[in-house]
């Protein structure tokens, strides 16, 4: 029987258990895929820890993966057995050797894009597209600030922003991680633990501040990030790896700042059929054209708990994956 990693309730990495799943036949409009890879993301940690509720009737973690179509149900016309596919979004279940899901969720992979690349890039790639094309359509020459620039999302956002002609300031938590951000294309890298990082970011960005700031750190970082943005710029708050975000007063966004604050969700983005089509189509084109999303850590499926522990502790850089 196919192996999967499931939880029965919130907890630490030790709450994750290996289970055997029955092989299910795809129903109308569904396809079954034999997976080769699953991405590991902070949103998985949020679900495992209970920050995001576990949907009723679901227990297997994971929102993105890739593999080969193994069977198709009635009414599926755009896929055939043997097609290489990838996906992101609800329902949970990518930490598994095999799964059945709606065929409309599956994106066929073009020649030149491997399952390994697509399965580790779907969530981060769609996140980058959402941030740079929907939340704030970045123009050539504009400044983007990316926190956790050595991480998976940070590196991919940096690479895509540079392809769009933007200039990027990345922040990292240690000098040891600065090289990863520079390798991704950042024009400047700052330590977000430094007391003067906000002033330095504003100085670099034409002494006015950045046009778009992307904060996946959370905690007390968001209020500092607001101060690094120029008037009529935008802050996108993605997550809270550093803990809950204190309340933000509306006055912090108004004059003289006059900036916007967004709390975008890539899973909500992926749940919109048209946005999902646009975003994944654009992502496949970027990947064919050479957009790089390096894998920084790789674990066997059975070692998913260790992958969570390492990601949560900041011991990884770039993308983290489970292999089947």
Looking at beta carbons, which pairs linking 109-115 to residues 24 or more positions away fall under 8 Å? 109/66, 109/84, 109/85, 109/284, 110/284, 110/288, 112/287, 112/288, 113/284, 113/287, 113/288, 115/36, 115/37, 115/66, 115/67, 115/68, 115/84, 115/86
Alpha carbons 51 and 126: distance in angstroms, whole number: 22
Residue-level pLDDT at 108 = 98
Contacts of 94 (CB under 8 A, 6+ apart): 35, 38, 39, 60, 61, 62, 63, 64, 65, 87
Total number of domains in the chain:
2
For residues 35 and 141, state if they share a domain. no
Is the domain of 112 the same as that of 60?
yes
pLDDT band at 251 (very low <50, low <70, confident <90, very high): confident
Question: Domain check: are 214 and 146 in the same one?
Answer: yes
Closest CA to 82 of 54, 56, 108: 108
CA atoms within a 13 Å half-sphere pointing along the CA-CB vector of 53: 3
Which region among 92-96, 119-123, 242-246 has the lowest average model confidence (pLDDT)?
Answer: 242-246
Half-sphere exposure in the Cβ direction for 174 (13 Å, CA): 7
Question: Which residue range forms the structural domain that includes residue 20?
Answer: 3-121+293-323
pLDDT at 158: 98
Average pLDDT score over residue span 87-92: 95
Is residue 278 one of the residues assigned to a domain?
A: no
CATH number at residue 306: 3.90.180.10
Specify whether 157 is located in the same domain as 104.
Answer: no
- Is 287 within the bounds of a domain? no
Mean pLDDT over residues 153-182, rounded?
96
Give residue-wise pLDDT tens across range 183-239.
999 999 999 999 999 999 999 999 999 999 999 998 889 999 999 999 999 999 998
Contacts with 319 (C-beta within 8 Å, 6 or more apart), sequence order: 39, 120, 121, 124, 152, 156, 293, 294, 295, 296, 297
Pairing state between β 229-237 and 210-215: parallel
Q: Which pLDDT band, with edges at 50, 70 and 90, does 145 fall under?
A: very high
**Three-state secondary structure call for residue 116:** helix
Q: Within a domain: residue 51?
A: yes
Q: If 0-12 CB within 10 Å is exposed, 13-18 middle and 19+ buried, where does residue 193 land?
A: exposed
DSSP secondary structure letter of residue 151 = B
129 pLDDT more than 80: yes
Domain limit, last residue, from 231, 250, 266: 266
Q: Is 90 exceeded by the pLDDT of residue 102?
A: yes
151: tokens are: 């991480």
pLDDT band at 250, cuts 50/70/90? confident
Query: What is the per-residue pLDDT for 255?
Result: 75
Distance, C-alpha 317 to centroid of its chain: 13
**Do 194 and 79 reside in the same domain of the chain?**
no
- Per-residue model confidence (pLDDT) at position 245: 85
- Residue 100 sits in the same domain as residue 184: no
Give yes or no: residues 52 and 73 share one domain: yes
Domain-located, residue 277: no
| Domain shared by 254 and 162, yes or no | yes
d(CA 172, CA 151): 9
Say if residues 44 and 64 touch (Cβ distance below 8 Å).
no
Q: What is the pLDDT of residues 76-88, one digit of tens each?
A: 999 999 999 999 9
Residue 226, in any domain of the structure: yes
Give the pLDDT confidence score for residue 83 in this predicted structure: 98
Note whether residue 91 is domain-resident. Answer: yes
Average pLDDT, the chain: 95
- Do residues 224 and 312 share a domain? no
Q: How big is the CA angle at 102 (ends 56 and 153), to the nearest 5 degrees? A: 75
pLDDT for the residue 254 = 84
At residue 172, does pLDDT exceed 80?
A: yes
| Among the ranges given (129-143, 154-168, 215-229), the one the predictor scored with the smallest mean pLDDT | 215-229
Q: Where does the chain show beta strands of DSSP type E? A: 3-6, 17-20, 30-40, 64-72, 84-88, 98-102, 107-108, 143-146, 167-172, 188-191, 210-215, 229-237, 260-262, 295-300, 319-323
Same domain, 112 and 131: no
CB 81, CB 71: distance < 8 Å: yes
Q: Is residue 130 part of a domain?
A: yes
284 belongs to a structural domain? no
Q: Which two tokens stand for residue 310?
A: 């390492």
pLDDT at 242 over 90: no
Task: Give the pLDDT confidence of 9-67 residue by residue, as tens digits.
Answer: 999 999 999 999 999 999 999 999 999 999 999 999 999 999 999 988 899 999 999 99
Binned at pLDDT 50, 70 and 90, residue 247 comes out as confident
| Same domain, residue pair 43 and 129 | no
Residues 140 and 113 in one domain: no
CATH number at residue 137: 3.40.50.720
Q: Quick check: helix, strand or coil at residue 118?
A: helix
pLDDT digits (tens, 9 = 90+) for 184-196: 999 999 999 999 9
């Amino acid at each position: 029987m196919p192996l999967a990693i499931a939880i029965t309730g919130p907890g630490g990495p030790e709450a994750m258990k290996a289970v055997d799943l029955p092989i299910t036949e795809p129903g109308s409009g569904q396809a079954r895929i034999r997976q080769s890879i699953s991405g590991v993301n902070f949103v998985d940690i949020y679900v495992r820890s209970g920050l995001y509720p576990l949907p009723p009737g679901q227990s297997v973690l994971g929102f993105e993966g890739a593999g080969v179509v193994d069977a198709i149900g009635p009414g599926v016309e755009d896929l055939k057995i043997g097609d290489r596919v990838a996906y992101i979004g609800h329902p949970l279940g990518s930490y598994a050797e095999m799964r059945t899901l709606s065929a409309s969720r599956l994106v066929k992979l073009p020649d030149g894009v491997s399952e390994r690349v697509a399965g580790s890039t779907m969530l981060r790639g769609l996140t980058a597209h959402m941030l740079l094309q929907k939340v704030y359509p970045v123009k050539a020459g504009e400044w983007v600030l990316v926190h956790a620039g050595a991480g998976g999302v940070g590196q991919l956002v940096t690479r895509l922003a540079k392809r769009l002609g933007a200039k990027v300031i990345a922040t990292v938590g240690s000098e040891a991680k600065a090289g990863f951000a520079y390798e991704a294309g950042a024009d400047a890298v700052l330590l977000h633990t430094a007391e003067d990082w906000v002033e330095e970011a504003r100085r670099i960005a034409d002494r006015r501040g950045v046009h778009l700031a992307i904060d996946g750190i959370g905690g007390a970082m968001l209020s500092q990030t607001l101060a690094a943005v120029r008037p009529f710029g935008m802050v996108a708050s993605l997550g809270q790896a550093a803990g809950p975000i204190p309340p933000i007063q509306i006055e912090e966004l108004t004059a003289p700042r006059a900036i916007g604050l967004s709390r975008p969700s890539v899973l909500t983005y992926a749940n919109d059929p048209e946005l999902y089509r646009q975003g994944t189509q654009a992502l496949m084109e970027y990947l064919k054209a050479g957009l790089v999303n390096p894998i920084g850590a790789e674990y066997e499926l059975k070692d998913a708990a260790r992958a969570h522990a390492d990601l949560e502790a900041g011991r990884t850089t770039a993308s983290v994956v489970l292999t089947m």
